[in-house]
Structure 1
Amino acid sequence: MHEARCGLSNFNRRDKFKVVLVLEGTNELHYANRSYLVDRPALVFTNRLIPYAWEVPAGFHEQQGYLCCFSESFLHSSMRGVSLKDLVLYKVDGNPVYFLNNEQVRYFTDAFTRMRRDLESDYAHKEDLLRNQLSIIIHEAARLEPATPQHAAANAAERITALFQNLLEVQFPITAQLREPVLKSASDYADRMAVHVNHLNAMVKEVTGKSTSTHINERLVMEAQLLLAHTDWGVGEIAYSLGFEYPTYFNNFFKKHTSLTPLTFRRARVPATQ
């Protein structure tokens, strides 16, 4: 969290949640399938599950301000069990931009200045101070009037498809047993994206030539192959970690898509030690 330029990169599956205090400059924020012209002081919230990009219009300079990156787990204890996904600031269909008047600019600048001071201090409990200050910023922002998008992105189908693909990728890799994907079906993804499942399927099919379910199944097969080849987990453990209720369901799914059983695939990829 530091004073910095606000020219943020495109979506990265390992990115954190971000809060940006824009103080000066002009950029256009492309967020999911909407665009916002941020040409005055504003608070901007970006969700690690949503593809976004900052674009500097011709003739303008990149913005100046403060940037704070954090994980949901970092903030969890100070928000008293409130999940970020339940806050309008981080909903896929929410508005990420909040324009500020002069009084609000002073308030949030003071807040970010205190956070930077605490971060650079040697105080043993500075993380608690940072957590509390960040929680206050989020709650204060929730009381603001959100900005209205300038326009829907012209390439809405591409952006919706990119959002789906990024949400799919963020479910993986599976790094711990019994840690199953949160989103499993096309309907799950559509609900998270606040679109009708038929609309999602139509957009994904238009851009990629494949259905939403085909993409999900292909990614599950890829992850199953990686787990079979590079872990010593049992087939049942892999099945549960991928969200299958019973190992037999996983066996049937894997064989349908690869023509091999999971054990046959594993033996072919990982020969027994002589």
Structure 2
Amino acid sequence: MNIKKEHLVSEFNSELKLKGFNVFEIDKDSYATKIYSRKDFYKICLTTGKSIIHYADRSFEHEGTILFFGNPHIPYSWESYCRKYTGYTCLFSEEFFKQCNQSDILQKSPLFQLGGTPILKITDTQRAFLNEIFCKMIENQQSNYSYRDELIRNYIHLIFHEALKMQPSEKYDAYKNSASRLTLVFFELLERQFPIESLDLPLRLKTAQDYASNLSVHVNYLNRVVKEITGKPTTVHITNRVVKEAEALLRNTNWSISDIAYALGFEYTTYFSNFIKNATGKTPKTIRATDI
């Protein structure tokens, strides 16, 4: 197999990968509230407008000012209901944040967990305070200060703590019984498999049995509780997520279809093509030729 490692990412994402951080005003960047070609970065948005955000298996409709926390391991999309959004966006890689001693906040913070609430309503007073923080980050991003990166990480920490003060802790106790907790852990494990970044690291968990083994439960029990909580079988969630990743790889990389099939755990390209056709009604070539 001819393994290619080059990704066709947007120019903006390529720039971000070099330094691991970028912050900008939303009304000065048309890509601010759209889906990036590969969501490889943590994202914090302070926005004013009307939209609906689809986050994992939930949707949040809002109007006014919100603070949004995006996790590269959890799929989301953003539909705007108004022509213009105002505010700020901050994007950073895990590697950028790992350079501080409190990087575990990315994994442990409820702001970035699947069962948490990634969207907070912001008052005018809170918006003024957060606006100032984002402006400070933009100012320092453009400076030659020797400790610029460290200062920016401190500003990100400050946003985290301000958000945690706004969010009632009981919001994170929505999953109380064992079935719900197991379902939550299943989804977290599912999302950790993505995005597929390299052909050297193909999809590891492919079946419901794979997930059950990793969670140390019987596959029948996992299937039962996931369907009880979500209304859909485990295999449907796995299939939907693999299809979503396949579409992203087909549209946003120059990998061959056979390489993508391999990356997603298919032994033969024909199996992959039939899988995609059954799930979407389109062939991989058709999806690749379709504009996003």
Q: What TM-score does the superposition give when structure 1 sets the normalisation length? A: 0.58
Could you tell me how far apart the structure 1 residues matched to 2:154 and 2:71 are? 20
Q: In percent, how many aligned pairs have the same letter?
A: 22
Q: Who is 1:80 aligned against?
A: 102
Distance 1:81 1:53, change over 3 A: closer
| Pairwise CA distance, 1:37 | 1.6
| Pairwise CA distance, 1:72 | 1.9
**Paired AA for residue 170 in structure 1:** P
Aligned with residue 235 of structure 2, among 205, 210, 217: 205
Structure 1 window deviating more from structure 2 (10-19 vs 66-75): it is 10-19
Could you tell me how far apart the structure 2 residues matched to 1:7 and 1:189 are? 37
Contact 1:78 1:135 in 2 (8 A): no
What is the aligned-residue RMSD (CA, Å)?
Answer: 4.3
CA shift digits 1:133-152 (9 cap, x unpaired): 11111121111126x8xxxx
Aligned with residue 124 of structure 2, among 96, 102, 105: 102
| Pairwise CA distance, 1:51 | 1.1
Aligned with residue 121 of structure 1, among 131, 139, 143: 143
| Pairwise CA distance, 1:64 | 1.3
Q: Who is 2:262 aligned against?
A: 222
CA shift digits 1:184-231 (9 cap, x unpaired): 94148889xxxx832557435347879x9xx9xxx99924999xxxxx
Could you tell me how far apart the structure 2 residues matched to 1:53 and 1:189 are? 29
**Paired AA for residue 38 in structure 1:** H
| Pairwise CA distance, 1:42 | 1.4
For residues 1-274 of structure 1, the aligned pairs below 5 Å read 1-5=23-27, 8-10=33-35, 12-22=37-47, 24-57=48-81, 60-145=82-167, 167-170=192-195, 172-173=197-198, 175=200, 185-187=210-212, 197-198=222-223, 199-200=225-226, 202-206=232-236, 222-223=262-263
**Paired AA for residue 96 in structure 2:** F
Q: Which runs of 5+ in 2 are unaligned?
A: 1-22, 172-185, 246-258, 267-292
Could you tell me how far apart the structure 1 residues matched to 2:205 and 2:152 are? 29
CA shift digits 1:9-40 (9 cap, x unpaired): 33754520100011x21111111111112211
1:69 counterpart SS class: strand
Structure with max Cα Rg: 1
Q: Who is 1:242 aligned against?
A: none
Q: Which runs of 5+ in 1 are unaligned?
A: 149-160, 227-274
Structure 1 window deviating more from structure 2 (12-21 vs 37-46): it is 12-21
Distance 1:41 1:171, change over 3 A: same
